[in-house]
Structures are given as structure tokens and as C-alpha cells.
Chain A
Amino acid sequence: MTDEKAEQAGPAFEPKIIAYCCHYCAYTAADLAGSTRLQYAPNIRVIRVPCTGKIDVLHLLRAFEEGADGCYVAGCLDGDCHFINGNLRARKRTDYAKRILDAAGIDPERLEMFNMSAAMATTFAATADEFTERSRKLGPLFDGEKKDIRPGIVMRQPMTLSASNPPAKDE
């Protein structure tokens, strides 16, 4: 990643960031940040998950496929997972997804995992700001025509199409 790339994108570049937030910590911290009127970057799109242990490598890759410039997972502090070790699993999966991104030629810095408690509203806001700044410096993930990722058909036997790709209606 280069500052040059960010400059090319112009000063107006606002990264799109997906933040997978655990219901028991980061999502509640976001709530607290809101009720205490803390300001933070509007670039993050929060997706609430029941536990970061719910997050699969595929969810992380899909975020980039669907147009995110950055993505992070925000889970409970070590030892504080409501489901014992979901956050530890999420960290392993995030690391694995980082390796896949690296192999695909995408800066793994675009993906990160953070830990916080439900009371850490200022940390939630600071994380959103810092990650937005990081993503802004990294520049757009794909520029111009590269953005055109064609969605694929997904099938499994017995021959069914996935819900996201309904079969064409008969003429």
C-alpha cells in the first residue's frame, strides 16, 4: 500500500469498512458510544454477530468481494468471551483469512481483529477512527475496472441453485 495510491484516489476517498461486532462487547460498546454522543468515522458499516466465533473466513473474504476497502472483527477481551473461546477462534480465522488475502495479492493490513469490552465506548470510537485512517492510507482496494467482480453461480447436488442466484423463470 502506498500513500501515492491514496493520493491518486483523491482527497475525497472515503473507504468502506465492514466491522463485524460481537453482540456482547463491541456492538454494546457502539451503543454506549452513541448514547454518550462520541463522534467516530462514519465509514464503518457494523454487522452484529452473536459472537465473533460465528464469523467464518468466507464472511471476511466476501466483505472485500462485495466492495469493502477494509474489514475488521471486534470481539471480547481475551478470557471474556460469552461463549468461552469464540473470540480466540475468530482471531485464528482472521489470521487465516489474512494469509489468503496476502496470497491473493491484497494487503493483509486491510483486515484486522480487535478486542474490547462492552464498557469501552472510547476504544470502539478510536478503533473506528484509526482503522478508517489506515484504510484511507491504503487507498481503494480495486480502482476503476478492477472493481467489476462478477458474481458466480453457486450450485450443489442434488442440483439446486443457492438463494442468492435464483433460477431464471421459464419463458
Chain B
Amino acid sequence: MIVAEQKPIGQVLDMIEPFEKILVAGCATCVTVCSTGGEKEVGILASALRLACAARGLKKSFDEITLTRQCDPEFIEPIKEFASQHDAVVSMACGVGVHFMAEHLPPMPVFPAVNTVFIGANPELGVWVERCAMCGDCILDKTGGICPIAGCAKTMLNGPCGGSNEGMCEVDPETPGAWARIVERMKQLGTLDKLDEIQPPKDWSTSRDGGPRKMIREDLKL
């Protein structure tokens, strides 16, 4: 899922400073699952903003709405009229949601209340870890299911590097080096010999290097 974390309340207050009627909009998918921008967090942020404004003597009102998804136009369409009764929208969705709301709502300011941090997994309650860097050309078949792009600080294709110390990464001694884990995993799988193959430089044109990416499926288009 997409993992996001809340911005400090002060930063959100600065964004909405010139506006009076604010709509706090949550998203019921990824940011709900990572407990950052779902219905409950919308309630908490709206409540905190009401208290913060009251403490500062600011006359502002905050309404709350949680969309099924902020990244699909069919869910934004039904809230257009409600949203336009406000001066600004504070979106608690990932950057995609904020962007899409700004694109599809009638022209009005849409502000982000969260920072989108990574695509990750949730190994235990309250912990999220990055597992995919969206490089656009998956090589997990060659690395025992452990990603050196998302897991290695240097995104190396042939490792481990000299900075690996007893399996831990030199960037952070608490973080296991991805390549040490890959070697261990390949040993377990009995496919260590696959690592003898030298990987050529990666084609980064499938990643962010080619600018904003787009995917089209003609068979699905109406």
C-alpha cells in the first residue's frame, strides 16, 4: 500500500490561514490502512484544527468527508457541489489524491495534510517498511524475492558492497543490508549460483527518469 504520514498541524494551519470554510477530505483506501488519512484521522485532524483555531481566536469552520478513493474521478464527481461550498480543501490522501482532487474539483485550493513517504508493508501494528521503489522493471525473480532497489541504499544490482558489515548496512547499522539478505535467501532456495551472473546496468527509463509515467490498456478503454 501507499504509506503516508501526517504533516505537523502548524504546517496545515499556515496553508489554510487565508481561508475560512475548510473541507477536510480523507481517503478510504491506502491512507486509511496506514492510519494516516482515513475517516478517523479526518475526525482527529478536524478536531485538532478546530481547537487550534479557537485557541488562536480564528473564525474558521471545518467540515469532514471521506471519499471511497480520491484517485478515481467517479468518487470525486459526487462531492463537487459539497466541496464548492468551501473556500479550500485539506486532503489527507496521498499525493495522487491531492493532485486528482485539485484536477477534478471546481477551481479551488487543495492542500496536502500528509506526506506520502513510500510504498510499503505493515509487518506489525504501528510499523511500516518500504518494499517497492516502483522502478518499473521488476527483478525480484533474480534476487530471491528481496528487492535491491528498494532495500539497498545504493540500489546496487551486484552486491553486497564493501559497506556491508556482518550483514548490516553502513548507512544505518540497524538496517539489514538487502544484498546480505538476498545471499542468505538464495542459499536457502539453493539458487546461489544464479548470483554468479553479472547484471548489466539497469534501464532506468522505466522509472522516474523518463518523466511522469502512463499506462494504457486499450482493451479496457470505453
Contacts and interface: CB of A to CB of B under 8 A. Distances in A.
Interface of A: 56-58, 61-62, 64-65, 100-101, 103-106, 142, 145-150, 152-159
B39 A156 contact: yes
A155 B78 CA distance: 12
B52 interface: yes
Given A61-B48, A155-B79, A156-B66, 5 more contacts: A100-B9, A103-B9, A106-B52, A152-B63, A159-B79
B190 to A, nearest CB: 43
29 contacts: A57-B44, A58-B40, A58-B44, A61-B48, A64-B51, A100-B9, A100-B48, A101-B48, A103-B9, A103-B48, A104-B9, A142-B55, A145-B57, A146-B55, A149-B51, A150-B50, A152-B61, A152-B64, A153-B63, A154-B43, A154-B63, A154-B65, A155-B63, A155-B82, A156-B28, A156-B39, A157-B75, A157-B79, A158-B68
Given A155-B64, A157-B68, A104 B40 contact: no
A65 B66 contact: no
Contact of A58 (B43, B56, B63): B43
Given A154-B63, A155-B64, A156-B66, A106 B43 contact: no
Interface size class of B (residues with CB under 8 A): 20 to 34
A71 to B, nearest CB: 12
A152 B197 CA distance: 61
A45 to B, nearest CB: 19
A100 B61 CA distance: 19
Contacts, number: 84
B201 to A, nearest CB: 46
Given A57-B44, A104-B9, A145-B57, A153 B51 contact: no
Nearest to A154: B64
B54 A146 contact: yes
Nearest to B52: A104
A112 B47 CA distance: 18
B47 A61 contact: yes
A149 B64 CA distance: 15
Contacts of B55: 104-106, 142, 146
A158 B65 CA distance: 10
Nearest to A97: B44
Contacts of B75: 157
Contact of B44 (A61, A149, A152, A154): A61
Contacts of B79: 155, 157, 159
A101 B51 contact: yes
Contacts of B3: none
A126 B62 CA distance: 38
Contacts of A65: 47, 50-51
Contacts of A103: 8-10, 48, 52
Nearest to B82: A155
Pairs of residues from A and B, 4 with the lowest C-beta to C-beta distance, nearest first: A104-B52, A61-B47, A105-B55, A103-B9
